[in-house]
Amino acid sequence: MSEKKKCDSSQGCDSCGESNTCSEEEKQAQREGRVNEKLSHIDHRIMVMSGKGGVGKSTVTANLAVSLARRGYEVGILDGDVHGPNIPKMLGLDKEKLIGTAEGMLPVPLYPNLKVLSMAFMLPNTDAPVVWRGPMKHGIFQQFLGEVEWGDLDYLIVDLPPGTGDEPLSIAHLIGEVDGSVVVTTPQEVALLDSRKAVVFSRMVHVPVIGIVENMSGFQCPHCGKEIELFKVGGGEKAAIDLQVPFLGRIPLDPQIVSDCDGGKPFIATHPESPASKAFEEITDRVEQFVNRRAKKEPLSRPATEGRRVFSGLGEKFK
Ligand SMILES: Nc1ncnc2c1ncn2[C@@H]1O[C@H](COP(=O)(O)OP(=O)(O)OP(=O)(O)O)[C@@H](O)[C@H]1O
Ligand SMILES: [Mg+2]
């Protein structure tokens, strides 16, 4: 900072009476310092992304977070979809508003060890659009990370909007050290085409790819029990092999997921015995293993290859 004494205020610039004497650079340095201080209380940071919309990122985020919370971790979900924030609706928190305290804003708790922050908590009603360009979105993420009392977290999971634009760039930049990205895709080729871009983007911003999830992968007919490949099957796994990243698993299509999402109930908690919940649990196992290995600086999971699906270390042979 310039000749001025380094700011040691624990307040944000917006609520500080002295900030009118500070330059923009000083305020920016103060904001970045506050983000870094808050991030120092978060052990693992994960981005959930995809190239295409509607493939199930928010569903995967919500169920991964609930699964981790049910394992006893302190978990936060940052809904990074400023224009279409769906996480509160999916978790039955859509009537909630953010609470401001002297220490900062408080995320909304779903369980004592699972907290959520979303643009939806700041909107006057569910129909209100957010018409913002990139810099404003960067500013709100800076506030979500620097001005919010997350407390000590084991995991912060960021649900991103589709694509490789402003939001993933801002999050990757602000968080600095992201443990990894989970790329969600559906098996059809048009979805895979875009998901491959998400993998390459993740590498470009130096975020390790934890792996690819193939969602909406097969559907079991409720009448005859036969599996129908509605959107094909296996494309996500093939993309993982081609791009040399791990394959985290297949989640089948299940109409109950839609009902639970719309009803604000976490599917994995309400239908723990279903095949889709088991798939979510396996994906959680793999994410947990990845971050633990990374923290211990052990070799990370090996990419999927023909004949050996998913992860190293699990000794799984599928063919
Ligand atoms: N495996 C599944 N089986 C059935 N429905 C699913 C499954 N996964 C997701 N859905 C449903 O698909 C819809 C889209 O899911 P979701 O909102 O999670 O996608 P998204 O990738 O986050 O979308 P966006 O790109 O708009 O953020 C939701 O209604 C959700 O309930
Ligand atoms: Mg979404």
Q: How far apart are CA 249 and CA 258, in angstroms?
A: 19
pLDDT digits (tens, 9 = 90+) for 133-149: 989 999 999 999 999 99
Least distant ligand from the CA of 60? 1
Both tokens of 131, joined, read 């018409």
Residue 154's SS3 state is strand
Helix runs in the chain, H state only = 24-39, 57-70, 87-90, 134-146, 166-175, 189-204, 235-243, 255-262, 267-270, 275-295
Q: How far apart are CA 234 and CA 185, in angstroms?
A: 11
CATH 3.40.50.300, domain 34-295, yes or no? yes
pLDDT digits (tens, 9 = 90+) for 49-84: 999 999 999 999 999 999 999 999 999 999 999 999
Ligand 1, residue 258: give the atom nearest the CA: 31
Ligand 1 binding site (Cβ under 6 Å of any ligand atom): 50, 53-59, 81, 84, 86, 161-162, 215-216, 251, 253-254, 257-258, 261, 276
Q: How far apart are CA 284 and CA 282, in angstroms?
A: 5
Both tokens of 146, joined, read 């620097």
Enter the pTM of the model. 0.91
User: Which residue's alpha carbon is at the smallest distance from atom 9 of ligand 1?
Assistant: 56
DSSP 69-112: HHTT--EEEEE--SSS--HHHHTT-TT---EEETTEEEPEEEET
Least confident of 168-172, 290-294, 302-306: 302-306
Least distant ligand from the CA of 265? 1
